[in-house]
A and B are shown apart, each in its own frame.
Chain A
């Protein structure tokens, strides 16, 4: 089977970006990725744009982004898989190369979430479930969805609010090393524990912020990738799955079965085991989500995620460092950009270009875990140096 590699990466500064429009913001990443790949932008046959949308003024982000970057004429579409839209875009770009349609494709993730007021953003994300049965009468919010999982995990496994806060402290420690992160300041456990409740047991410091940002990756076919790059990072495994819109139709609330399924597919396709992973990004939209990810990805046994974070097993020097770019919590979570941002981070790590937050790379294997909604969509991508 032929292969596809990441040959170019680009990443904007994340945060409240009132200085740029959607097109300008996407361009920051597109320009870097095209330059990094060393391709002629006219050779990009397919530009897949991951964006959830609804909070910015444009209805057709893909064409707006392409027009600004002079990419009109390329095949394009906007893909939506909620907070996993970025990984869905990477997968669609990957598919267009694997199918032989094109030798070069680009995935662009972009979101501008701060052009509307915060309660409206909370409303738009809160509707990310089954509208009539969860929102219309009950006003679900995104923190509330994950809080339902947090309570169940705490009740079944003895995970504590302090364990959740430990995830946030780790995120901020690494965010402080990432010049593109929305929050670049370390925090204490006391500060996280003392922050206001958003949806009990989740507090402000358990939640990722609303963010603007973009990221882009240029992908190339095997033959071309070897010509373009000395360090192509191969997409070795892509697993994806989904679950019910309505949370009441889930079996339990202590893990995301879509993530378990996506991970199994990605590991099988890449022919690697969880223990082979040198470095990972996990979808920490809320602290509980990162803990469940450790378990869903097989980094630890079910119910042992709290032990992993307490023992520092997911820090540099631990068994599997996770979210060394600050994660969604500190780096920021511009929804459609996140999956592409994760692919950029793992590519940097595997290239050995992550600077202060570089993980030791032994097997040359990195993993991207990107969840849409509350496990409504799940994408797991395995990247490799060989």
Chain B
């Protein structure tokens, strides 16, 4: 056991961030309707995921929103047992990276699958979930 004397600090630091989403608002609005959309550069045609207003390939600043569809194929996954402090109430969960029809990939929870049945190559669907306070998020579910 640790018996060294300590100064147990009385001053706590509680950080909660307000993160701007004005440039990706269409993504979040579409997600509320169950659609996964992202940004396509008008100059070079590069589609990014996650969406971003400025093209990381050619640095072009004009883009349009395109539908990425909801079909996906599992690439890799993990079953998380030891969770971060802020996920203590969530219990174990499965995180997957899956490839969308366009070849772009996304990372999300995989819900509703028997742990033993999860394998690379399995067919998945993207589904929207309500994260509360008007913030949606997406998950994968077995197709």
User: Which residue numbers of A lie inside 8 Å of B, CB to CB?
Assistant: 16, 18-19, 57, 117, 119-120, 122-123, 126, 130-141, 143-144, 147-152, 155, 196-202, 246-250, 253
Contact A148 B76 (CB under 8 A): yes
The answer to whether B112 has its CB under 8 Å from any CB of chain A is no
B55 to chain A, nearest CB (A): 14
Cβ 8 A contact of A130, one of B50, B82, B104 = B50
Query: In the complex, what residue of chain B is closest to A132 when comparing beta carbons?
Result: B19
Are A18 and B2 also in contact (CB < 8 A) when A133-B50, A197-B79, A247-B107 are? yes
Contact B76 A152 (CB under 8 A): yes
User: Which residue numbers of B lie inside 8 Å of A, CB to CB?
Assistant: 2, 4, 6, 9, 19, 49-50, 75-88, 90, 93, 95, 97, 104-109, 120, 131, 137
* Chain B residues, Cβ within 8 Å of A155: 76, 120
Contact B77 A141 (CB under 8 A): no
Contact A200 B2 (CB under 8 A): no
* Chain B residues, Cβ within 8 Å of A248: 49-50, 97, 104-107
Contact A152 B120 (CB under 8 A): yes
Query: In the complex, what residue of chain B is closest to A201 when comparing beta carbons?
Result: B78
* Chain A residues, Cβ within 8 Å of B107: 133-134, 138, 140, 246-248
A130 vs B9: C-alpha distance when bound (angstroms): 30
Contact B97 A247 (CB under 8 A): yes
Contact A199 B84 (CB under 8 A): no
Cβ 8 A contact of B81, one of A119, A131, A151, A197 = A197
A250 vs B83: C-alpha distance when bound (angstroms): 24
Contact A143 B82 (CB under 8 A): yes
B97 to chain A, nearest CB (A): 6
Contact B80 A144 (CB under 8 A): yes
Are A200 and B79 also in contact (CB < 8 A) when A137-B137, A152-B120, A248-B105 are? yes
A244 to chain B, nearest CB (A): 9
Of B79, B83, B84, B109, the most chain A CB neighbours within 10 A belong to B84
Of B75, B108, B109, the most chain A CB neighbours within 10 A belong to B75
Query: In the complex, what residue of chain A is closest to B49 when comparing beta carbons?
Result: A248
* Chain B residues, Cβ within 8 Å of A134: 107
Contact B82 A198 (CB under 8 A): yes
Q: A57-B9, A122-B84, A250-B105 are in contact. List 10 more A-B contacts (CB 8 A).
A: A19-B4, A134-B107, A139-B86, A144-B80, A200-B78, A202-B78, A246-B50, A247-B97, A248-B50, A248-B104
Cβ 8 A contact of B95, one of A16, A140, A150, A253 = A140
* Chain A residues, Cβ within 8 Å of B97: 148, 247-248, 253
